[in-house]
Amino acid sequence: MSARIRDAVVVGGGPAGLAFAIAAAARGLEVCVLERREGPVDKACGEGVLPAGVRALARLGALAHVAREESAPVRELRWIDADGAAAALRLPAPGGLGVRRTALSAALRARAAEVGVELARAEVTSHRRESGRIVAAGPEGEVPARLLVAADGLASATRRREGLEGPAPRRARFGVRRHFAIPPWDEAVEIHFGDGAEAYVTPAGARRVGVAFLFERRGPATFEALLARFPAVSRRLAGAAPESAPRGAGPFDRRATARVADRLVLLGDAAGYVDAVTGDGLALAFACAEDLAALAPAAIARGATRAALRPYEAAWRRRFLPYAAWTRAMLALARHPAARRRLLALAAARPAPFERVVAAAVG
C-alpha cells in the first residue's frame, strides 16, 4: 500500500462506506476504501431501499449503475397478520427499490471508481494515531490518513478497539435471508407478522424475490423452520427454486458510546443500530454518509479532532433518534398482537393518515 497520506481512509466497503467515499470525493477529498472481502460484497439484508434512500442513490450518481434485471420497483408496504388481516400503504414518490445486495454493492463500487475513489482489498486489524495522522494497519500494509471512517458493520472491530462499544441489548434479535427464482407477484414489500418473528418478502430482481425472517431465538432458527411458521409465504414459494444459500445476521441492537474521537468517526451500522424491522437502515446509512462528507473538509482542515468532528455527532443524532423511535414503535407492534390487529384494521379502513405517517418516517 502507498505510504502517502489520504484525506480519509474508510474501513469497510459496504453501502455506508462507499456512499461516504463517493460524496467525499465529489468534494475534492482523496479517499481510500479498504475492504477485506472480494467485491461486490454480499450481506444478509432485506434488500429494500425506501424513497429517501432511492433519492440518495440518485444524488450520489449510483442509481444509474444499478443493473435493471437485479432490481424491481416497490410502490407500497403491505402488513399482513397471521389471521389474514392486512393493510397496504403507498410509498411517497419516487417509491422504493428492491435490489439484490450484490448489485447495490457493484453499483456503488462502479460509481466510486468513476469519481476517483481508491478501492483496495485489505484487512484492517489495528489503527494508531501519530502526529497529524491516523494509520490503518493490517496484513497488506499500512495506510495513513487525516481521518479514519469506520464503516465496518454491526460488530465493528474498530468500535471495540477504540473503546466505544456500548452495552449489549436485553433482547437479542436476529435475521436470516434467502432468494428464490420466482417473478415478484406485486410491487410491494410484504411484512408478515407471526409469533416472535416477522417474514419480509421483497422483489429483488425481475425474476427473484428475497425472503428474510427477523426473530428472537425461540426454538429452531433454521430458514426452513422459520418458513414453516408462515404458511402464506410458503404457499407462494411452492415450486420455486432457491437461488442463494441462507445468510444470517445479528444480534441487531448495537450501541456506541460516541460516534467521534480524534481523527476517527463511526458510520453506518458501526455507529449504532436498533433493528431491521422498518427496512430503513440503508436510507439512514446514506443520509449519515452524506452528512459526514459535507462536514469532512472543514473538520480535516481543523485537524479532524474530536471537537472538529462534533457536528457529525449532532447530525447523526438528528437522523438516528427519529429512526430509533419509529423502529421501537414497530417492534412494539410486532410484540403485541391485539394492538397490531386493531391498528391494521384502522389502516385498512383509512389508509391516508397512515400513509402520511409512513411518508414522514421513510420518505
pLDDT digits (tens, 9 = 90+) for 214-236: 998 776 779 999 999 999 999 99
Whether the CB-CB separation of 35 and 347 falls below 8 Å is answered with no
The pLDDT assigned to 125 comes to 96
Tell me which residue has cell 427464482.
181
pLDDT for the residue numbered 1? 63
Residue ranges in the chain whose pLDDT is less than 70: 1-2, 219
C-alpha cell at 15: 453501502
Cα dihedral: 165, 167, 170, 171 (round 10): -10
For residue 362, the number of C-alpha atoms closer than 13 Å in the C-beta half-sphere is 29
pLDDT tens digits, 262-294: 999 999 999 999 988 888 899 999 999 999 999
φ/ψ (deg, to 5) at 306? -55, -45
Q: Please report the pLDDT score of residue 2 as a whole number.
A: 67
**pTM for the whole thing?**
0.95
Which ranges in the chain belong to alpha helices (H)?
15-26, 51-60, 101-114, 157-161, 223-228, 231-236, 281-301, 306-335, 337-349, 351-362
**pLDDT score recorded for residue 219:** 65
Q: What is the rounded CA–CA span in Å between residue 160 and residue 108?
A: 27
